[in-house]
Structure 1
Amino acid sequence: MDFEEREEQRMLREGVRRIATSFGHRWYVERARRGEKTKELWDALAREGYLGVSLPEQYGGGGLGITELCIVCEELSTQGCPLLLLVVSPAICGTVIARFGDDAQRARWLPGLAKGSATMVFALTEPDAGSNSHQVSTTAVRDGDGWRISGQKYYISGVDEAEQMLLVARTGTDARTGRGQLSLFVVDTDAPGLKRDAIPMEIVSPEKQFTLFFDDVRVPADRLIGGEGNGLKALFHGLNPERITSAAYCVGLARYALDKGAAYARERKVWSTPIGAHQGIAHPLARACIQMELAKLMTQKAAWLHDAGKDAGEASNMARLSAADAAIESLDAAIQTHGGNGLASEYGLADLWGFARLQRIAPVSREMVLNFVSQHSLGLPKSY
């Protein structure tokens, strides 16, 4: 095993860090608080080709892997600028279309996703389905040479900044199990019959969350990805990159918080002594640093497994849970180190709490991760 990054990866990390630093966390937060987007940062990354590093070269991507996309995500988050659309547009949608789309579909959508000139969001979750994808009730029925989609989706990120969404819909029911037969469709976000309502959130983020209502939204046949009823396989192929890249964001968030906490602990003095000299301050930061490094290792393992074409399900889930916990522990330790200043806007910590806390809920809850590990890693009976 070689834990040293290749020169290409080091250059990628340095390039993303340079761009993200030129914007910075304060810029990011001010934009988010005003309800504005972070398009300038997105475009700066796009000009360097960083948004499409994991997509195939023949469609304008970097031809690398989720490992490299994790580097992009981690470095952005380390500078306090997590861009959620990177997780859904290239990581989920780009990965699924590259693997399961036909030649015409790949040629149609991948170049824009690779260049960052187009974005695509992912629509899976529903109010009544929860984490059970088999119970998706949004339906797609054949209508001549196309399909008509009806139903509702919930907590769909960034619909207001994307041209299309990759939608999971039920196209039938398995007669033996009663589970839904799922299919994937590319749907325009401005399609007739599609309505969206923003969900007010207590999270400081430029990406908004929406409830979507589909009222006989018609899509042509060429919008079906991977064939009718084959959506579950494609879905899970896209969910592992989602979990891995969101884990990378959590690792970056932990690094950001620890950098802030350690710097304050070195500089802040009480009775002429830096507060970092006291174990009550130093040890929580040190423990959080260890947790962050362990989470980073599992994230790297999950990315390597995915890029090598191996089963990455277990590692992806473990990376997701450990990185979310590391982000929360690091942020909490940094806030505590700052005392009252930890909640002051000037110090750029408390505004990330909502984003960090969300990571224990989405894109997969810690309870579902523990269910997966209980059943698949330990061989325990299924609990649900």
Structure 2
Amino acid sequence: MMTLNETHNEMREALRELCARFPPEYHRAHDEKATYPEEFINALTEAGWLAAMIPEEYGGSGLGLTEASIVMEEINRSGANAGHCHGQMYNMSTLLRHGSAEQKAYYLPKIASGELRLQSMGVTEPTTGTDTTKLKTTAMRKGDRYVVNGQKVWISRIQHSDLMILLARTTPLDQVQKKSQGLSIFLVDLRDAIGNGLTVKPIRNMVNHETNELFFEDLEIPAENMIGEEGKGFRYILDGLNAERTLIAAECIGDGYWFIDKVTNYAKERIVFDRPIGKNQGVQFPIARAYVNVEAANLMRYEACRRFDAHQDCGAQANMAKLLAADASWEAANACIQFHGGFGFAAEYDVERKFRETRLYQVAPISTNLILSYVAEHILGLPRSY
């Protein structure tokens, strides 16, 4: 009987074989032109990797967050950027755990086959940021439809998604006992919404991460597109956010290993003052430290995955995994660019591209400082600081 580790090893081998078909030049060209790697994402979809968490009865693989995180890790470890497709993994959690039987029967087979893409989540707003319970986008019931008005920002992959998970306020803040109440989740069909109440404005940014501002003006959504019960959306969205943070941790771990492999190989070959630079402890120690920290973050990633897949509370573990992995990948990135010297800034080495990509995760999808505040308050019992 195959063990879990053997299954994971087979997954890694298959993923590495697929990713190797898209060499660094491919991803470098898309970064330079700020274009979307459609062929790469299609290959992942056709091979079933982006349907990893969809149950077999709906055409997926029926795997857990653990396996989904391995997919994300291997994409980044190959030199690619999972930011082009990771939304489908964590958005899936909200639909899988809280969608109706009818919603799952209709959408999941089409998502598994690649006919539909669920790549976007509309939560963040320009005036509230991570203070999610105070979001201002509203969805008011009118007959058999909800009418949405408001604004979102930093919403990714709209141009390459058919569906979006949207969090909006259905009960005014002054009419609820707790500010986390009165929020609801909707599944928005972007093919109908764009141009019919939804306006999309792309945001140019320092990484090739397709992201946008969204403007809602009387956008109508069928009532049957609500996921779960009205007013309970904040609790539902947490499943997606915990999955998101854990998957981002896996991506950072993939980045960390990429940087360490890259700089280790370079330090062995680069000769300065008649000796390889990797012979110097001033070079060795930062690389070794980065490796130790990536390995430690990896363990927390697996603990967060284990708890998520067991339907246990995993908020603390998901947050800590994201913090540790983001810090470890950034440490590895700094060592990699430093010891490449001027070549680290040359696009042909791909270090500067990956350096920019992994820097994002000090800020998104939740800043490392806010994670520390979470740990201080919710785990250590210190007074709330904000």
User: If the TM-score is normalised by the length of the shorter chain, which range does it land in?
Assistant: over 0.9
- How do 1:224-263 and structure 2 match up within 5 A? 224-263=226-265
Residue 199 of structure 1 is matched in structure 2 by: 203
Uncovered stretches (5+) of structure 2, i.e. residues with no partner = none
The size of the alignment, in residue pairs, is: 378
Shifted more, 77-86 versus 95-104: the winner is 77-86
Opposite residue 206 of structure 2, the aligned amino acid is E
Residue 283 of structure 1 is matched in structure 2 by: 285
- How do 1:143-222 and structure 2 match up within 5 A? 143-172=142-171, 173=173, 174-177=175-178, 181-190=182-191, 191=193, 192-203=196-207, 205=208, 207-222=209-224
Q: Is the 8 A contact 1:135 1:180 kept in 2?
A: no
Shifted more, 238-247 versus 264-273: the winner is 264-273
Q: Is the 8 A contact 1:136 1:180 kept in 2?
A: no
1:105 aligns with 2:103: yes
Q: Is the 8 A contact 2:176 2:182 kept in 1?
A: no
TM-score norm. by structure 2 comes to: 0.95
Residue 324 of structure 2 is matched in structure 1 by: 322
SS of corresponding position for 1:6: helix
CA distance, structure 2, for counterparts of residue 85 and residue 347 of structure 1 = 21
Q: 1:377 deviation in Å?
A: 1.5
1:307 aligns with 2:309: yes
Q: Is the 8 A contact 2:133 2:179 kept in 1?
A: no
Uncovered stretches (5+) of structure 1, i.e. residues with no partner = none
Structure 1 stretches of 4+ with a deviation exceeding 4 A read none
CA RMSD of aligned residues (A): 1.4
- How do 1:115-126 and structure 2 match up within 5 A? 115-120=113-118, 121-126=120-125
CA distance, structure 1, for counterparts of residue 147 and residue 125 of structure 2 = 18
SS of corresponding position for 1:9: helix
Identity across matched positions, percent:
37
Residue 354 of structure 1 is matched in structure 2 by: 356
Alignment equivalent of 2:375, drawn from 356, 373, 376? 373
SS of corresponding position for 1:281: helix
TM-score norm. by structure 1 comes to: 0.95
Q: Is the 8 A contact 1:148 1:219 kept in 2?
A: yes
Opposite residue 103 of structure 2, the aligned amino acid is Q
Taking a change above 3 Å as real, the CA distance of residues 178 and 104 of structure 1, as seen in their structure-2 partners, is closer
Q: 1:35 deviation in Å?
A: 2.8
CA distance, structure 1, for counterparts of residue 216 and residue 100 of structure 2 = 26
Opposite residue 164 of structure 1, the aligned amino acid is L
Opposite residue 280 of structure 2, the aligned amino acid is H
Q: Is the 8 A contact 1:90 1:114 kept in 2?
A: no
CA distance, structure 1, for counterparts of residue 110 and residue 7 of structure 2 = 23
Taking a change above 3 Å as real, the CA distance of residues 271 and 177 of structure 1, as seen in their structure-2 partners, is closer
Residue-by-residue CA offset, 1:109-167 (whole Å, 9 max, x unaligned): 21232233321210000011111111010000011111100000001001011111110
Residue 35 of structure 2 is matched in structure 1 by: 36
Taking a change above 3 Å as real, the CA distance of residues 184 and 85 of structure 1, as seen in their structure-2 partners, is farther
Q: Is the 8 A contact 1:51 1:115 kept in 2?
A: no
